[in-house]
Structures are given as C-alpha cells and as structure tokens.
Structure 1
Amino acid sequence: MAKPRTYLTTPIYYVNDKPHIGHAYTSLATDVLARFRRLDGHEVFFLTGTDEHGQKVEKAAKDAGEDPQAFTDRVSQAFRDLTVTMGFSNDDFIRTTEPRHKAACVALWKVLAERGEIYLGDYEGWYAVRDEAFYGPDELTERDGVRYAPTGAPVEWVKEPSYFFRLSKWLPELLRRYDLPEGHPERIDIEPESRRNEVRAFVAQGLREFGEGSPKLDLSVSRTSFTWGVKVPGDEKHVMYVWVDALTNYITAAGYPDTSNPRWAFWPADVHFVGKDIVRFHTIYWPAMLLAAGLPAAKRVFAHGWWTNEGQKISKSLGNVIDPVTLVEEYGLDPVRYFLLREVPFGQDGDFSRKALINRLNGELADALGNLANRTLSLIQRNCEGKLPAEGDAAVGGALLAGVQALPGQVRDRLDRQEFHLALEAIMASVRDANGYITQEAPWALKKTDPVRMAAVLRHLHTALRCQATLLQPFMPETMSALLDQLAVPAEARDIAALEAPLPGGTPLPPPAPLFRKIETKAA
C-alpha cells in the first residue's frame, strides 16, 4: 500500500541580507524530515525559496545602488548557493519575482475578490518598515521620542488607501480548527504547544475585544506607498501586501491555479517550518485566506526558536552573526548538520557554542559512532577474511538486536513530531548499547575460545551499524553514505524497508576508513 504524499516547506527567506545560521537551521530541519520520509517510502515535495518584494527590499536595493530586480537576483543566488553548501535536497526553489508566482497571486486575489472577501478602505496605524507590519499602540514602547515595535523596529504613523481582507469573518472558524482533536482532517496543528497557546490567545483576545465581524480585525492587504510588488488586478496603483504575496508561494509551487498540475496532489502542506517570529502570519492570516478562497489549509505549522551565540543575542551590530558557510568549512558539513539538530530541542531557543559543537563531534561522532564502526569492521577484516559473517544465533544478540529492531519505529515517531534531538538520542543510545556489547562480548578474545560466537557477535554489530547508518542518513548524508559503503550495503538497499532483508553472509567488505576528523582542543 502506497504511503501518503508529503509536502514540506521552509519559509521563503527575505533577500535584504545574506543567509545566516537561522536560515540554515530552518531549512536543515525541513531537509532532514524530507529525507527521512523518502527513506520511509513516501513521495515527497520539499520547497524553499526567497521572498523578494516589498518596501524593505526596495529600500535595500536603493541603498546598494542597484535596480530591485538586479539586487534580488544577486541576493537570492546566495540563498540558492546555501542549499548546495548545506546539502539540502529541496525539489524546488521558488522566487516571488517569477512569472508563475505573480500569476498565482493574481489568481488568488481574484478568487477572494469574487467571493466578497476583499474590500477597499483606508488604513492608518503604527507601521514598521523593517517588519513590514502594523502594530497596536499597546504593543509599542517609546524611547527618546521614538516609538518601537516589540521587535525593536522603529514605527511611524501611516495613513493610506488599502484593500482589506475580511479576516474577522474567519477567526471563529480558525479557533474551531485549532481545538479539533489530533488526526482530525480539518485540524490546524500549531507546534510547539507554547506557540499554539500564544496564537489561540491572540485570536480569542481580538474577538473578545472587538467582536466577531469587526472591521478592526480585518487585514490590510495592499499598499500604495511603494511599487516593488505584485500589482493588484484592476487597480495597479496598489501592490499586494508582502504577506499576501509571500504566503501564496506555497500554492504557487504546487501548481496553483492549475489544480490539474500533478503537484497539486501534494496540497495541503503537511508541515510549514517557520521561525517563531512569523508564526502568526502562517497560523492566522494564511489559513484564513485559504479557507476564504475555498482551499484547504496547511495541516501543521512548526515554529522553532532562535539561536544565541556564546550566550549573546545575535546581531549585525555586535558582529556575532554566525555564517553557516564558515562553520561548514571549519568543521565539515555533516558534523554541523548533526550538531544543529542534536544540541537543542527543536522549538526552543538555544545557544550556539563552538565548544559544544566540538564536544558532540569528538564525543558522539568520532569516539562513539566512528570508533564502533572502526572496531567492528577491523575485527571482521582480521578475523573473518574481510567477509560478512553469516547470520548467527539471534540469542547472542540479545538486548542489542531487540533495540535495533525497535529503532526505526522510535525514530519515525519522533520525527513525525519534529523531535529531532530525541530521534538522534535514540540512535546514539543504540550506538552506546553496541559499544557496550562489543566490550562485554570481547570478540577479539572469542576467536580462540568460541569462534562461532565471535562470528555471531560481529554479524550482530554489523546489523546494528547498518540500521544506525541508515537512520542517520537524513542527518549526515555524506558520512553515512561512506559508512554504508564500508558495510557493503548496496545503493538500492539503503532505505528503511530494506533493513528487513539481511545481507548475505560472505559479502566482501572493503577495508574501513575513518569517518570523522576529531578536533584537537587546547588544554586549559
């Protein structure tokens, strides 16, 4: 029976500056889940891209002395290059300046207008150019006569003609969907729970304060104060507000408005991965617009936390922005990928430190996994003529084999909940069990006393390593490909289902080679 399709997205990244660790982190989580789902037999569509319209981009291009299109072409390429540097397996890279996207935005706008979900009015309020968002007076702070948004961006009072989306009409329906039980086809799932509570409280408070259907809850969806954006059909003095434009990318890439496009079968998205700063846009505005257009809303939005750098908030002014390309050059791609999802529970804020990265690389990767592989494969080379022993007595494997058999299900369950650190902990617990097993069984000594048991022990260790390497492929694709080569696992037998088909005894194994380069640290 075919497994359901999976559609996973990153946010599209704003092109007013070059990529940093936060961009790499969101895309990495999406990539790992996409790779795992493919290993698990799902057809997957993984989307990332860049958000290239709006006042902020227009201003950044002007400051750089460039035409907005030339500016976005250059900066967008840096994000595309990051997907290569980080080994991401995205199936598409969308840019909001592409003709297909502009066509999708116009089509969605027309549907909303025809359904009476958009109307013309005037908007005034406190607006932050940096955030491209309006804020209520109760959200602002004032210093030295300047008002600031909660994000720290300065705000100014703006009044201009604007089209509005009847968001207020859909808020009760959103609350209903937030509260549906897990597994219900109409549920809008928001994770982690703290973000779900935040969004739900925000919507409920708005309804209590202004009442259902109040225009005060409606969403301004166009601008006349700048021109760099998608023109509103029938009124080209207006451009679409960046959030209408940007959010539509998820259905653009799925083929909208052509619902006969094979990609449309992937919609609705299974998970939108986002940073916690944009969770409201994805869990309130976006599903409301989709429902108003008669389209299904995405099933799940997961908002991750932010990184600090050695205990400090990351900012350009402090000069402590973490460049993922530099990290990869310094420590290697796979250790960086592993560390970012191992160190901090996904959804919580976390602190980046080079010491912690080095400890994970040296301890868990080199000493635990790398040493296990080297010991096992070296013993097979020396004691079994470099050939995989035949399957031996399962009882000799005991608890180790039982744990290995349960491991794919444990990892699947944890990744289904985006608990990346727990999935890795389950795999590393299996690695620790295998290291304990090899020490306890001492196959180097068994060669003289019980060669049959020695062969069984080495075979069970190979089985454990094969399972661990298979499940670690989404996290460390290059290194685990090398390990599976050393284990002589054929390219066509590296998915999860193939773990049920043992390799034949007598399979020649190549000589082992180190998997990880330890980082030498200076003594204190």
Structure 2
Amino acid sequence: MSHNTKKFYLTTPIYYVNARPHIGHAYTTIAADVIARRHRLLGDDTFFLTGTDEHGQKVERSAAAAGLSPQQFTDQVSASFRALWDRMGITYDDYIRTTDPHHKSAVQKLFQLLRDRDAIYLSTYTGQYSVGEEMFVEGPPGTIGPDGRPTETVTEENYFFRLSAYQRQLIDLIESNQLEIQPEVRRNEVLSFLRGDLNAVTGRVYDEAQFADAQHPPSGTIVPSNLPANPLEIAYERGWVLKSASEKYYVPGALKDFSLSRTSVSWGVPVPGDEKHTIYVWFDALINYISAIGYGSDDPEQQKKFEHYWPADLHLVGKEIIRFHCVYWPAVLLAAGLPLPKAITAHGWLLFEESKMSKSRGNIVRTETILDAFGTLYTPPPVLAQNDVILSEAQSAKSKDPEGLNTTTTSRTFSPQISAAPTAPAKAEQDLFAADVLRYFLLREIPFGQDGSFSFDALVQRYNSDLANGYGNLVSRTLNLIVQYFSSASVMGSPRGIATYLRLSEDNAEIVAPFDPEVKSQAEQTVRIFDSLVEGNDFSRALETVWALVAATDLFVTKSAPWKTLREIANAEASGTIDLLSHEHGEQLKTLDRILYVSAESIRIITALLYPVMPHSTAKVWAQLGLGDIEEAASKGELKNLQWGGLKPGTKLGPLSPIFPRAPKELIQLMTDMENPITPTPSKLVDEKTTHTTPPPEDPTHPGAAPRTSTLAEANPGATVAGSASPTTERPDTPHHTEAPASGIFAAEAKPDTPQIVIDDFVKIDLRVAKILVAERIPKADKLLRLEVDLGYEKRQILSGIAEWYTPEELIGRRIVIIANLAPRKMRGLESHGMLLAASNGENGKPILATFADSEDIELGSRLK
C-alpha cells in the first residue's frame, strides 16, 4: 500500500439473515457501490465492506422451525445475499459474516477490553421482550410488540455498558462535527436523544411558579410576562440542565446504560470467561466494521491493515439504525480508546406505491424480478467483419426518414451492418444491464436521505424518458450520423479511411464551433457541479445536472440539423456538382465536423460522469466511442479532472448497437405478475428459465420465503442495528404511550358543558410560535406526520395526526402555534414533544392550523398570552 495514496474505507450495514434480499437492501448496497467506484477512479485506496448479521434469538428459532441448524440456515440466506451482489456487479472488497471465526474472536477481545477498562458491569434487567423483533419494548406484561405478537416477560442477569458516562462527550463531538452525521435531520434527531427531555425541564420551571389572578398577583410572584424568553436558563441556574461546549442545553443523566449480553440465547458469541452469557446481537454486529479489517488478529499483516484503514471514512446506514451507529457505537469506541468513524450517513425508507415495504403487507419487491424483466431488453453489441463499417440496407430509406437516427423508436437506422447474427446475450450481461437500470432509477428518483417511492410504473417511465429517449437516443443519433458521414462515397478516398471521424486539425481551438460554444460551457459547468454534489451523496441532483447536459446536447444537434448537410452533400455528389476541394464545400464539411465533435465530446463527458452509477452501460457507450475499456480508463485516472477536448480527432468508432431499447408497457404487468405469481401467465418477454412461477413458501422462517424488511425496518418502539432489529435494553423512565391521555385531534371533541378552568390553569399552558422545518410521513401510520419545528431557542420533534389533510410539502416553512410544555409521549415508537393548535368544523372536519398572516414579523419562540 502506498502511503501517498489517500485511503477510503466505506461500509454498509450488515443485513440480517431472516430472509432473502429485496430492493431495500439493494438500495443501500448500490449507493455504497457508487461511492466506492467514484473513490477508486479518483485514485483513492478504497476498501468497501458489506456482509450479513447472523446471530440472535430470532435466527435460532427460525432455524429450528425450518428443521435446520442455525449455521445451515444462515449459510443459505447469507449465500443468497452474496449471490445477488455478485449478479449485480457490486464491487465489494470483503464480505463479512458474523459467524466467521475471526469476527467472533474480535468480538470477544473487544468485550474483554471494555471489561478491563471498567466500561462494563454485571446487573439484572426485567422487561417485555419482542422475540419477532429481538427487542425490549415499553409496557406491561402482554404488551403487543411491533411484530403484532404478545411480548414475553424476561428477567435476566446482563452485562451492562456504561453509556451514561459518555453523554457530554458525544454531544460535543457531534455538535462540533468531529463526528459528522448526515443528513441534518438525522443529526438533530441524535442530538435530541442525547440532550434528553428539555421539554419536561421547561414544564418543571413553570410548574414550580405559583400564579394567582393575572391582574393582581401576590407580592413576590413571578408571572409569565416576567419570565425570560428561554426558561431553560432558569433551569441551568438551578442545575437542572447543563451546557455543552457550544453552549447548548442538555439534561444530565438522560443517557441510560444498556445491556451487552443475554442468558436466554445461545446462538451467538459467548462472553469470554462467562459463557452462560451470549453477547447481544447488535453489539456483536457493530464490531464487524473493525473485525473485517483485522482488529483483534495476531497476524502482523492484519494488524497493519487495521491501522491503515481504521477509522472508517463513511458508515452508510438506514435511518432507523442511527441510534446504534451514532450513539452506542461511538461510545463503545471511546471506551475502548479507538478512533471514531469520520462520517455516518443515513438514507430514508423505500416505499412501494406509497406504503413501506413489509412482508406482512405483502408489498415487497425482489431485485431478481427487475433483473429478469429488464434483462430481456439488453441488446449485445454486433460483431463486424474485419472491423469494417458496412452500410445497412436500412440506409436506403434515408430519403424518407431524413434523420433516421433514433434506434430506440424506429428500425430505419444508419447503423453498421453486422456480418453475422449476434450471439445470444449472456445472462450475466443481461443482469448487469438491468442492474444499471435499477441503479439509475433509485439514485435519480429518491433524494438520498429522504424516504422515496418505488413502483413498476415509475421505473418503466423513468427508464423510457431518461435512458431510452434521453441518453441512449443521443448516443445513437450522434454515432449513427458519424457513420453515415464517413461512409459516403465522397470520403471513401480519405486517407483516414472508413470508420474514422472528426477531420479537424490538431488545433484544439477549432474543436468547438465558434457559432455555438454553449454545450462546451455547460459541460464544464456540469463537471464542477456534479463532483461537488456526488461528494455530498446528493445523487439525485447530480444526475439531474447530467441530464440537463444531455438535453442541451440533444437540442444542439437538433438545431444544427447535420443530417440536412449530409443530404445536401449526397445530392450534390449524385448530380456530380460537388467539388470537395473548393473553399465553399470545405467550410461546409468543416462545420459538419465541428457539430459532430461537439456532440461526441459531450457524450464522452456525460459517459465518464455516469460511470460509477451505470458501469455496464457506460462501458458499452465508451467502447462505441472508440475509447476502449472504461474500467481501464477509470483505473488510469482518465475519468477524473475531465477537460473539454479529450476526444481525439481521428478516433475509430467501435461496433454500434442500441444502448437502451424502449421498454414496452407490458413490462410493468410482467413484473407485477412475477411478484404475485398466483396465476402464472406466460410472457413473450421472458423465457421459462427467468420467470418466477412458484409461490414463495408460506412458512416465514423458510430460507426461500419472501423477505421482510430489515435494513428498512418497520417503525417500532425501539431501534434496529446493522440490518437486524436488535435494540438496547435501556431502562425507560417515560410511561408507555398507551397510558397517555388522548390529545389534539385524537381526543373526542369538547362538549358544550366542558368544565371551566381558572386563570391559574390557563397560565400553565405554554403556547409558543414555531416554524416547521421538516415534515415527513411515518410508514404504516396513515394519519401521522413527523414534524421538526424550530422554537428559536431549540428544535424538537412533534407527531401530528394531520396527514389526511396536509401534505408534507405544504407545511414546511409555516409558522404555527404549539403547546410547548405538554408532557412528551410516544407514538409508533417515536417521541412527540408538544402539540399543534388547530380548529376543525365538525367531528371529521379538516383541522385548520393556527398560523399567522404576517408570520415573518413574529419571532420564533414568542409566547402567546
């Protein structure tokens, strides 16, 4: 390893082996592969890790139900993940399994180190345990867990980690961005958890103030108007809250110690020296990030590897497991004296037709369905006789079809005539083509970090509009024009020969036609913007900028109409009136050269930018441009620092074939049928070997059963980790949300005889002005929206049942009124810190939010009196 090379260590969560993979898993892994490919082409020493999480009680019971040993069960499911990543061309450098011997050894060594450092202690815990989700949940015995089944009461002797000792340190690291968490909404969520319930402290300040009549308060009474704008300052003076290094408030002691072991589970890593305890699956899983690169090994080479690659440059995770990665994992590393990861980025949930993918809903989508369906569209490149270009018979139709260039929509194209029928495409080539389609759709359609929708209709529509009619059509029309140009009789005697192009001089000043430099300027701007957006993992906007260049180039070709010039030359040549050596026709040909160069050079830059996203398809375009192997070009650094003029005049084109043939609308129904094979219908689009006509096993524990979500887990009262659903056994102080009284629009409408209150009661209600910063739907909760609001002095999360009447987009930016000192409660596993004020007409009328007409004149946090 060169010490002059910048290293980049990237990880995905390791996926829980409760079932086979689906596109939720693929989404995470695709994003990681794009990031890894980009860093490799930049010349970074890149190490990309993925794998599977294979321990825990759920796996143990599922294996028994399937009649397999836990190891046999995990071997089968883990192999299905690895086979899919290989089928999709994922370029991982290592595939870790938590059942690997070197991983088990690393887990035990880290556990022992923490025990030696007094970061672990032995205690007991009693709580309600959801076996299906492998998590403790709040509530009394018999509570229905997030898996829909009654929980089990579990009392165990556990080893606990002293998480409470790291509250201030973690807050300071995250607030200073030494531990970078993206996107901002997740960073705020983590900080809110670490800072504790500041809302309750604010309420405590007001509760201790005794108010009488507002007009004549007793002597010495502090009335609301005399309280400071920020009641937390009073709490700070009384020692109820402390301040971080950046002067932000937090509640000391809000972070609770958590369990690191179980005694009722045997399928896992034994605690060293106390083997009746099994190390908790989530802690076991997190250690994969260091065990895979040599932590705990006695091998000097592995030790060097760990020193070289750790800390991780980026942990890529789903948003539901950020607490484990952004709180528990950093705390463990601090306790062990190990460096923290540099950055943690969380993506959102993938929704299928507006509902979160879930096995119980039956709306999961297997990646194999998309690979099999779109693979049928793949067109292999032709084989040319003696590497020559021979005009096809279709070119005789050019008088009827002046352009004749759209290979995606017409059979009359100016494409080379192949000397022999192309060989049938290899299944691997079909898979890689289809994987590119899925890669592009997921990264273009879904802003990374937000929830996004998936549907077969949207997939086909995006494919046809962006790939078939956009990028693919631009490539086909440009390269076919070049073939037509240099296959005419007028240039047969050219020393450049057939199948060469761009008869420009070597002077790069002539490359861009002086009459239209806009494409060159936009290409240079696109390179700058694209690099910065991809660096921030903003894939959707990055691809949007590339497609703006595709559109600009396509418009340039349309406006320039080079086919008209070609037709004029052909007609003049046929009549014998053309003189190619004359100045007039020489300038005409030179202009044509420039038009074709501008288009071809723009395609080269577009293709280089798209390589990490669509490696297989861009390789095909790169070869058609005559530039050889794009993988080799990437390894040589030819795809970075892109400059206009890199396409050399005189380059010979490679064999041409359609890149993205149009997808017929029947493909939508085909994929739907493949996912719901109740009544299999033969299709002409796929053969018998690629259709799925056998329903998945009904037994959910069978390795062949349809998968449930894991990296994109369902919302629940706990969190999940490393693709599993294994949270902490924190000792909660907050009552279960079922014990909280209904409020807001969930409560019954007030009757006319509602008991009156006195002023003493009213002044206890803290009404504040807040601005909505974030609004998003909560999966599996049709009525709830999750809001993040800014009170000026702090930001907080509020859940509101207004999703039936308001979209998230129309709420962002509004200034509303909230009850700021309402005791927090939990819904759907999320804590709500306050309540929105709204009025409605009738029992089921739309709630009208209390807002302000002149909102900008009202400071955030202002109190209503």
Range of TM-score over shorter length: over 0.9
Residues 148 and 238 (structure 1), Cα distance of their counterparts in 2 relative to 1, 3 Å cut: same
**Which residue of 2 is the match for residue 349 of structure 1?**
451
Pick from 60, 64, 67: which aligns with 1:65?
A: 67
Match of 2:639 in 1: 496
Contact 1:166 1:215 in 2 (8 A): no
Counterparts of residues 116-135 of structure 1 (less than 5 Å): 116-135=118-137
Give the alignment of 1:183-332 within 5 angstroms: 187-205=178-196, 214=253, 217-258=256-297, 260-331=303-374, 332=434
The residue correspondences of 1:439-450 to structure 2 (distance < 5 A) are: 439-447=558-566, 448=569, 450=588
Q: Is the 8 A contact 1:396 1:457 kept in 2?
A: no
Letter in 2 for 1:401: K
Q: Show CA shifts across 1:437-469 (max 9, x none).
A: 111222223455721121112112111111111
Q: CA deviation at 1:214?
A: 4.9
User: Does the aligned pair in 1 maintain the 2:196–2:254 contact within 8 Å?
Assistant: no
Q: In the alignment, what sits opposite 1:184?
A: none
Q: 1:89 to 1:173 in 2, by over 3 A?
A: same
Q: Distance in 2 between matches of 1:421 and 1:245?
A: 34
Deviation (angstroms), 1:337: 1.4
Q: Please tell me whether the aligned partners of residues 625 and 652 of structure 2 are also in contact (alpha carbons under 8 angstroms).
A: no
Q: Tell me the TM-score normalised to structure 1 length.
A: 0.92
**Alignment TM-score, normalising by the size of structure 2:** 0.57
Deviation at 1:490, TM superposition (A): 3.0
Query: Counterparts of 1:163 and 1:230 in 2: how far apart (Å)?
Result: 14
Distance 1:40 1:196 in 2: 28
Cα deviation for residue 151 of structure 1 reads 7.2
Q: Which residue of 1 aligns with 2:653?
A: 509
1:425 alignment partner, one of 523, 536, 544: 544
Which secondary structure state, in structure 1, belongs to the residue aligned with residue 442 of structure 2?
helix
**Contact kept? 2:132, 2:147, Cα under 8 Å:** no
Instruction: Say whether the 8 Å CA contact 2:13–2:317 is kept in structure 1.
Output: yes
> In 2, Cα distance between the equivalents of 1:368 and 1:412?
21
Letter in 1 for 2:609: L
Q: Any idea what SS the aligned residue of 2:312 has?
A: coil
Instruction: Output the amino acid matched with 2:547.
Output: M
Letter in 2 for 1:248: I
Between Structure 1 and Structure 2, the one with more helix by share is 1
Residue by residue, what CA displacement relative to the aligned partner does 1:213-270 show, whole Å, maximum 9, x if unpaired? Answer: 8597011000101111111111111111111100000001121135732253121112
Question: Counterpart in 2 of 1:437?
Answer: 556
Conservation of the 8 A alpha-carbon contact between 2:511 and 2:598:
no
Query: What is the identity, as a one-letter code, of the residue corresponding to 1:197?
Result: N
Gapped runs of 5+ residues in structure 1? Answer: 182-186
Relative to structure 1, the CA distance from residue 95 to residue 169 in structure 2 (aligned partners, 3 Å threshold; closer, same or farther) is same
Q: Is the partner of 1:257 in helix, strand or coil?
A: coil
Q: Which stretch of structure 1 is more off in the superposition, 426-435 or 150-159?
A: 150-159
Map 1:330-479 to 2 at 5 A.
330-331=373-374, 332-384=434-486, 385-389=498-502, 390=504, 391=508, 392-394=510-512, 395-396=514-515, 398-447=517-566, 448=569, 450-479=588-617
Q: CA shift at 1:393, angstroms?
A: 3.7
Give, in angstroms, the shift of residue 152 of structure 1. 5.7
Deviation at 1:504, TM superposition (A): 2.7
Distance 1:360 1:518 in 2: 11
- Secondary structure of the corresponding residue to residue 443 of structure 2: helix
Preserved contact between residue 290 and residue 306 of structure 2 (Cα < 8 Å): no
Q: Distance in 2 between matches of 1:396 and 1:245?
A: 64
What SS does the corresponding residue of 2:121 show, helix, strand or coil? strand
- Distance (Å, rounded) in 1 between the aligned partners of 2:479 and 2:316: 39
Give a deviation string over 1:348-394, Cα, whole Å, max 9, x none: 11221111111111111011111100111111111134323145343
Change (3 A) 1:422 1:154: farther
Instruction: Report how many residues are paired.
Output: 513
CA contact (8 A) 2:311 2:341 kept: yes
Residues 169, 515 of structure 1: alpha-carbon distance in 2 compared, 3 angstrom cutoff: same
What is residue 89 of structure 1 aligned with on the other side? 91
Query: 1:451 is aligned with what amino acid?
Result: L
Give distance in 2, aligned partners of 1:216 and 1:451.
75
Matched AA of 1:344:
I
Structure 2 residue matching 1:97: 3-state secondary structure: coil
Q: Which residue number in structure 1 is paired with residue 663 of structure 2? A: 519
Matched position secondary structure for 1:162: strand
- In 1: Cα distance, 2:359 partner to 2:287 partner: 30
Q: Compared with structure 1, are the counterparts of its residues 30 and 286 closer, same or farther at alpha carbon in structure 2 (3 Å cutoff)?
A: same
Aligned twin of 2:760 = none
Q: Deviations over 1:296-345 (max 9, x none)?
A: 11122221111222233322233221001111111222111111111111
Aligned AA (1:380): I
Q: Map of 1:7-86 to 2, 5 A cutoff?
A: 7-86=9-88
More moved, 2-11 vs 218-227: 2-11
Q: Residues 44 and 154 of structure 1: is their aligned pair in 2 closer, same or farther, counting only changes over 3 Å?
A: farther
Q: Is the 8 A contact 1:122 1:159 kept in 2?
A: yes
Q: How far is the alpha carbon of 1:67 from its aligned partner?
A: 0.5
In structure 2, distance between residues paired with 1:107 and 1:263? 15
What does residue range 103-142 of structure 1 map to in structure 2 within 5 Å?
103-137=105-139
Residue 473 of structure 1: CA displacement? 1.3
Contact 2:527 2:642 in 1 (8 A): no
Instruction: Please say if residues 126 and 156 of structure 1, whose CA atoms lie closer than 8 Å, have aligned partners that are also in contact.
Output: yes
Segment of structure 1 superposing worse, 221-230 or 386-395: 386-395
Deviations 1:406-463 (A, max 9, x none): 3333222112211111111111111111101111222223455721121112112111
Cα offset, 1:498, TM superposition? 7.0
In the aligned structure 1, how far is the partner of 2:19 from the partner of 2:655? 46
1:144-163 matched pairs, under 5 angstroms: 146-149=142-145, 154-163=150-159
Structure 1 residues 345, 154: closer, same or farther in 2, change over 3 A? farther
Amino acid at match of 1:433: A
- The AA in structure 1 aligned to 2:456 is R
Percentage of identical aligned residues: 43
Q: Cα–Cα, structure 1 residues 3 and 345, in superposed 2: closer, same or farther, change >3 Å? A: farther
1:133 shift after superposition: 2.5
Q: Tell me by how many angstroms 1:86 deviates.
A: 2.0
Q: Is the 8 A contact 2:171 2:191 kept in 1?
A: yes
Q: Which has the larger radius of gyration?
A: 2
Over 3 Å counting, the alpha-carbon distance change for 1:291 and 1:397 in structure 2 is farther
Q: Which amino acid aligns with 1:496?
A: L
**Whole-Å Cα distance in 2 between the matches of residues 460 and 99 of structure 1?**
57
SS class of match (1:456): helix
What secondary structure sits across from 1:237 in the alignment?
Answer: strand
Report the Cα distance in structure 2 between the residues aligned to 1:518 and 1:41, rounded to whole angstroms: 36
Structure 2's unaligned 5+ residue stretches are 202-239, 242-250, 375-433, 487-497, 570-584, 670-865
- Once residues 4 and 470 of structure 1 are traced to their aligned partners in structure 2, the CA distance between those partners, rounded to angstroms, is 22
Q: Give the whole-Å Cα distance in 2 for the aligned partners of 1:244 and 1:21.
A: 26
Aligned-partner residue type, residue 439 of structure 2: R
Secondary structure of the corresponding residue to residue 217 of structure 1: coil
Backbone CA RMSD of aligned residues: 2.4
